[in-house]
Amino acid sequence: MKTLQAYLTRQILASLLMTVAVFTFVLLLGSALKEILPYLLNNQVGFGTVAKATGLLIPFLWVFALPMGMLTATLLIFGRFSADQELTAARASGISLLSLISPILLLSLAFCTLSALITMEIGPRCRAAYTDMFDKVKVQLAGFQLPEGRYINTFPGFIVYVGKKHEDQLEDVWVFQLEQETNVVLTVHSRRGRVELDKPSNTINLYLYEGKILQADQNPGSFQEGIYPLRIDPAKSSNRSARIDDMTFSQLLDELHYREQLDRRISRSLSKDQLVTMKKDWERNRKGITPVMFQMHRQVAFSFACFGFTLLGIPLGIRVQRRETNIGIAIALVLVAFYYLFFLVGQSLDTRPDCAPYLIVWLPNFIFQAVGAVLLWRANRG
């Protein structure tokens, strides 16, 4: 029996590695590489930048790829195991299904621990680092703010032209300072320059070197180094404030504590009459607590997905009895879509405290584990 247990466990691990790699690659192409690959194709960033972005994003994608891989692996392995009559032979030898799969169930619990670490700590940190890096890359490259060979008038009070650009290094830079957004009062030409993001002030600092200044009714001047702060149009800026869905579990705890303290201060500082008068503002603050609670429950609930998927995937694979890989993947995708549907519903209600959206995210775990336990019990009886 131990030999058969070890065989199944090795098969599950091998299939898990393959399916996680496939799902990670698909999610990578569908989510973030489409944002940064155009910069690579235009020779605006190097492979190092793309590799760093990919490395930061992969742990975040494992939050989704690991449970999906576990479900697919159990469906494929036990579908083949049942279709090849190996399960029938094991039962004929007096080996029960529960004893056969006990190492795999323990393995799924171990992956729940790994999933919790990724979901609650590593994934959010990597996602936040990727978002920050990508925002800086977009501004430093100025792919949307300072493209090559175009006159850009999106900066209040300035028109900018860049002849050539490689990452944050610029060549043949022209800056036209405007008066009342129409008249050019100052023209600056520089052989080279660079851009730097000043995120707190929402500006791009344009550093110019070896330049000349042309101004009406004055002789041309020259300079070795100058700086022009160009304010980014908020409507076109890519900078994003920190979001709670990019926070780790400990950061969410701090955020929840802060919002609850604010809620208590509001309720204590106002009289009953004032509370009635300011009911809408107070309820708005209460709505700010619910999204944080939803994210906390989502992270914890998501950590148990591997166990629920394994508990359901084993008996379902035995019932289906199919060796084809595409059938197993199709069933896995349907189940994953059903599982994530509850999270999407909870996300849409995260500003509705009366709907308790943070409890909705636990429903798919209870459903998958309950259905899986029933099917496994029936499969064990033969």
How many domains does the chain fold into?
2
Two tokens at 314? 């084993």
Last residue of a domain, one of 231, 247, 262: 231
Q: How far apart are CA 248 and CA 117, in angstroms?
A: 10
Would you give the DSSP letter of residue 133?
Answer: H
pLDDT averaged over every residue in the chain: 79
Residues 18 and 89 in one domain: yes
pLDDT at 313: 92
Residues 10 and 112 in one domain: yes
Q: Which residues of the chain have pLDDT under 50?
A: 141-144, 234-241, 266, 269-271, 274-275, 277-278, 281-282, 284-285
The answer to whether residue 129 is domain-embedded is: yes
pLDDT at 273: 52
Last residue of a domain, one of 210, 231, 252: 231
Residues 298 and 217 in one domain: no
Residues 113 and 176 in one domain: no
Q: How far apart are CA 142 and CA 123, in angstroms?
A: 28
Residues 59 and 111 in one domain: yes
The answer to whether residue 336 is domain-embedded is: yes
The answer to whether residue 274 is domain-embedded is: no
Last residue of a domain, one of 190, 205, 231: 231
pLDDT at 149: 60
Instruction: Using DSSP, state whether 18 is helix, strand or coil.
Output: helix
Phi, psi angle pair for 10, to nearest 5°: -65, -40
Going by C-alpha positions, the residue among 362, 354, 365, 363 that lies closest to residue 289 is: 354
Residues 7 and 134 in one domain: yes
Residues 361 and 314 in one domain: yes
Range(s) of the domain holding residue 182: 151-231
The answer to whether residue 184 is domain-embedded is: yes
pLDDT at 314: 92
Residues 9 and 95 in one domain: yes
Phi, psi angle pair for 164, to nearest 5°: -135, 155
> Which amino acid is present at 99?
S
Torsion angle of the four alpha carbons 323, 325, 326, 329, in this order, in degrees rounded to the nearest 10: 110
Q: How far apart are CA 318 and CA 271, in angstroms?
A: 64
Residues 33 and 127 in one domain: yes
Residues 219 and 179 in one domain: yes
The answer to whether residue 275 is domain-embedded is: no
Q: What pLDDT digit, counting tens, does each position of 314-339 carry?
A: 999 988 877 777 888 889 999 999 99
Strands 203-215 and 169-179: unpaired
Residues 130 and 43 in one domain: yes
Q: How far apart are CA 243 and CA 28, in angstroms?
A: 21
List, in sequence order, every residue forming a beta bridge with 42; answer none if it has no partner.
none
The answer to whether residue 98 is domain-embedded is: yes
The answer to whether residue 244 is domain-embedded is: no
Question: Which burial class, exposed, middle or buried, applies to 6 when counting CB atoms under 10 A from its CB (0-12, 13-18, 19+)?
Answer: exposed
- The single residue listed with the structure tokens 């999610």 is 27
Residues 308 and 198 in one domain: no
The answer to whether residue 345 is domain-embedded is: yes
